[in-house]
Amino acid sequence: MSTIVGEGDFRFRIIDDWAKLPEGWKLGDVGGVGVDTQDNVYVFNRGTHPMIVFDRQGNFLRSWGEGLFPRAHGVHMAPDGTVWLTDDGDHAVRQCTLDGKVLLTLGLPGKPAPFMSGLPFRGCTHTALSPRGDLYVSDGYGNGKIHMYSPDGKYLRSWGEPGSDPGQFNLPHNIHCDDDGWVYVADRENHRIQVFDGNGRFETQWHNLHRPSGMFMPRGKCPLCYVGEIGPYYGFNRGAKNLGPRLSILSNDGKRLARITTEPAAGTGPGQFLSPHGLAVDSRGDLYIGEVGYTAWPSLFPDKPRPDTLRTLQKFERVVDPPAGA
């Protein structure tokens, strides 16, 4: 009997061992996940084959990016059929075709900006596109900025600084933009999502979260917000209830609609989480969750040896009830 998780209108069936890799391959930490218009799934990971593409049944289609991406972090699928990839270890953002041809590179690969200088990039984390095609880059590991570029890659402006006040950041880890042009930033170590207008003016913030790390918003007006929250790493509250790791589904005004959490607080079984880092939802509402379990393991389980193989990608299939009277 399959396991159902979630609540209300957001219930999911766990699909175990969904991804079918070629013999001898394994996924590293999955930094980001994307889904194209054909519901093919793009898994940006820190293994030998950085980008691995599957169809919606989990069949292997192709791989690319070998030797180009040292530390996969963020995926953003663009409306024009390209994909924006953020590499926090290379301090660069690349726009690629869906078969891996690099079209545009932002930043100087391998050359980070000075620590907390505010200059692009030092440990950049994710990208988002505005309705008119402007690009936003969250620059979080060693910076506290959001950078804005024109559609052709020209630098326009930046906003933010280290801190915890509105408009300040403590690791801007993910970023999305809706069809009205609002910009949503997962301000991870401030335990919040901040919302800005398209020019960086602070509008509001949501605090009902714990270290929001992964984030996905479908295209459209008033979209849902899927948030992967990671748990505490300190020994005194590691394993506590109600702190994560978990996945929350919010309305676009920050109201929680559903939450997926399992016991123990962090675990390696089907449906359990270590560190949900990259999220995507396909056209049928199925949810793909990438995790950086190898990176998180020493902090979560400092007294246990790390397994050779961890679950770093899961699929949750949306459960749709039949119409009344059917």
- Is 273 exposed, middle or buried (CB count within 10 Å of its CB: 0-12, 13-18, 19+)? buried
CB 228 within 8 A of CB 257: no
Structure tokens at 205: 């913030």
Cross-strand bridge partners of residue 249: 226, 258
User: Is 0.85 surpassed by the pTM of this model?
Assistant: yes
Residue 249, φ and ψ in degrees, nearest 5? -115, 120
pLDDT digit string (tens) for the chain, length 326 residues: 578 999 999 999 999 889 999 999 999 999 999 999 999 999 999 999 999 999 999 999 999 999 999 999 999 999 999 999 999 999 999 999 999 999 999 999 999 999 999 999 999 999 999 999 999 999 999 999 999 999 999 999 999 999 999 999 999 999 999 999 999 999 999 999 999 999 999 999 999 999 999 999 998 888 999 999 999 988 888 888 889 899 999 999 999 999 999 777 788 999 999 999 999 999 999 999 999 999 999 999 999 999 999 999 999 999 987 655 65
Burial (Cβ within 10 Å: 0-12, 13-18, ≥19) of residue 2: exposed
CB burial of residue 255 (10 Å; 0-12, 13-18, 19+): exposed
To 5 degrees, how large is the angle CA 163–CA 253–CA 87?
A: 50
- What is d(CA 30, CA 109) in angstroms, rounded to the nearest whole number? 20
- What residue ranges define each of the domains in the chain, with the CATH number in brackets? 4-318 (2.120.10.30)
Nearest to 12 by CA among 313, 318, 276, 322: 318
Which candidate, 190, 225, 194, places its Cα nearest to that of 211? 190
Calculate Rg over the CA atoms of the chain.
Answer: 18
Residues pairing with 102 in the sheet: 96
Question: What is the pLDDT, as a whole number, of residue 1?
Answer: 55
Go through 36-59 and write b for each residue having 16 or more CB atoms within 10 A of its CB, e for each that does not.
Answer: eeeebbbbbbbbebbbbbbebeee
- Interior/surface letters 135-158, b for 16+ CB within 10 angstroms, e for the rest: bbbbbbbbbbbbbbbeeeeeeeeb
Closest CA to 209 of 177, 178, 245, 234: 245
**Backbone phi and psi for residue 146, each to the nearest 5 degrees, phi listed first:** -115, 130
pLDDT at 324: 58
> Tokens standing for 23?
């013999």
Which of 189, 192, 301 has the alpha carbon at shortest distance from 239?
301
Given a contact cutoff of 8 angstroms between Cβ atoms, the answer to whether 291 and 273 are in contact is yes
Give the residue carrying structure tokens 């809706």: 178
Cα–Cα dist 112/124, whole Å: 9
Distance CA 63, CA 72 (A): 14
Stretch (H or E) spanning 296: helix 293-300
Residue-level length of the chain: 326
